Structure 1
Amino acid sequence: MAPDGPGQVPYGYPGGPGGYGYPTPSGYGGHGPQTHGSAGYYGWPGLQPMPSNGMGTASLVVGIISAVIFCLWPIAIILGVLALIFGTIGRGKARRGEATNAGQALAGIICGAVGLVLGLGMLAFVIATA
C-alpha cells in the first residue's frame, strides 16, 4: 500500500475483493458490512434446528421392553400403550418435518402393539387358569 492511501487492495487482503468476509474499517474502501450479510455480520449462515427424534426413539425402546417382558403383563400393557402413544406423536413430528426417524417411530408402534397383545394374552391366560 502506498503511504498516501490504500489504493488497490491486493487480492486476499481483508476488505478487498475475495477478502474472506472480513469487515473493512471505514474510510478504506472495499465493501461495507451491509453489502455481504443481511444483518451486518459475517460467518456461517444460520443453522437448521436439530430434529427432535425423542418420541420415536422412546417409542421403540418402550415397545421393545413391552414385548420382551410380556410375562409381567401389567407392566407390558402399560408400556405397550405408552409405545403406541409415543410412536403416534413421533410419526406426526416426522410428517411435519420436525423429526427424521419416522421408521423408528413406526417400529415402536409395531413393537408396542405386539407387547400390548402379548400382555393382554398373558392376562387372559392368568384369568383362564385361575
Structure 2
Amino acid sequence: MSQPNGPEDEPRYGVRLPPDQVPPPAAPTPPPNPYADPYAGAPGASGATGAPYAQPPAGGQGGPVGPGAPYGAPSSHGPYGGPYGAQPGYLADGSKARNAVGVVALSLGIASVVLFCLSWVAACLGIAAVITGTVSVQAGKKGQASNSHLGVWGIVLGAVGIVVGIIMLVVIMQTPEFQQMMDDLY
C-alpha cells in the first residue's frame, strides 16, 4: 500500500518543482479577431501590407483590367460586380445602386418573348422592356448601376418581343377564322 504524500503521489510525467521555482502563470491571450485577414503575411501575398489580393491601380493605370485581362491581372470590380470596397447593392461612394431597373428590363424582355402568342401583350411588354432597359444602360453609364448589361439584354429581348408580337398579329389577321369573326361583327 502507498503512503499519503509519498513518491506515488508525485506526477507521472514530470517533476514537481519547489514552490520558489514555479514560473508565473501565463498572461491570458486575447481571442483572435474574426474579421482579420487570415492570409495576411502568407507567402505570395502582394503589397507591403501583406494583403492577398492586389487592389486595382489608382487612376486606371497599370495595364489591362477586367474580363479580357490576362489571368492574374487585377480587376476593377469586386465579387459582386461593383467596384472594390463597395457593399453589394451600394456603389463605392456609398449611394444605393439602381440595379433593380436592369432586372425589371430583363424580366419584361423575357415575358415579351414568352408571351408572343398574345401579340398585343407581347408588344406592350416589349416596349416597356426597351424603355426600362434604356434607363438601366443610362444609369450604368453614369455610374449609378453596376448591372447595365441586364438592361442591354432587356432591350434586345424587348425588341424581339415587339417584332414577334407584330408578326403574330399580322398572321392572326390573315387567318380565315379572323376574317369570319370580322364579317360577323359588321
TM-score interval for Structure 1 and Structure 2 normalised by the shorter chain: 0.5 to 0.7
Is residue 123 of structure 2 the alignment partner of residue 123 of structure 1?
no
Query: Partner of 2:97 in structure 1?
Result: 51
**Distance in 1 (alpha carbons) for counterparts of 2:152 and 2:93:** 28
How far did 1:50 drift? 2.4
**Distance in 2 (alpha carbons) for counterparts of 1:83 and 1:75:** 12
Percent identity, please: 36
Between Structure 1 and Structure 2, the one with more helix by share is 1
Gaps of 5+ in 1: 1-45
Query: Partner of 1:70 in structure 2?
Result: 116
Letter in 2 for 1:116: I
**Distance in 1 (alpha carbons) for counterparts of 2:149 and 2:93:** 25
Larger radius of gyration: 2
Letter in 1 for 2:128: L
Query: Partner of 2:160 in structure 1?
Result: 114
**Cα deviations across residues 3-28 of structure 1 (Å, max 9, x unaligned)?**
xxxxxxxxxxxxxxxxxxxxxxxxxx
How many positions carry a matched residue from both structures? 85
How far did 1:47 drift? 6.0
Query: Partner of 1:93 in structure 2?
Result: 139
- TM-score, normalised on structure 2? 0.44
Moved over 6 A (4+): none
C-alpha distance 88-47 of structure 1, shift in aligned 2 (>3 A): closer
- TM-score, normalised on structure 1? 0.62
Q: Aligned to 1:71, what secondary structure does the other structure show?
A: coil
**Distance in 2 (alpha carbons) for counterparts of 1:108 and 1:77:** 13
How far did 1:74 drift? 1.2
Q: Aligned to 1:104, what secondary structure does the other structure show?
A: helix
Query: Partner of 1:83 in structure 2?
Result: 129
C-alpha distance 47-99 of structure 1, shift in aligned 2 (>3 A): closer
How far did 1:87 drift? 0.2
**Distance in 2 (alpha carbons) for counterparts of 1:88 and 1:52:** 13
Structure with greater contact order relative to length (CA < 8 Å, sep ≥ 6): 1
Q: Aligned to 1:92, what secondary structure does the other structure show?
A: helix
**Cα deviations across residues 79-107 of structure 1 (Å, max 9, x unaligned)?**
00000000001100000000011111100
Q: What is the Cα-based RMSD across aligned positions, in Å?
A: 1.4
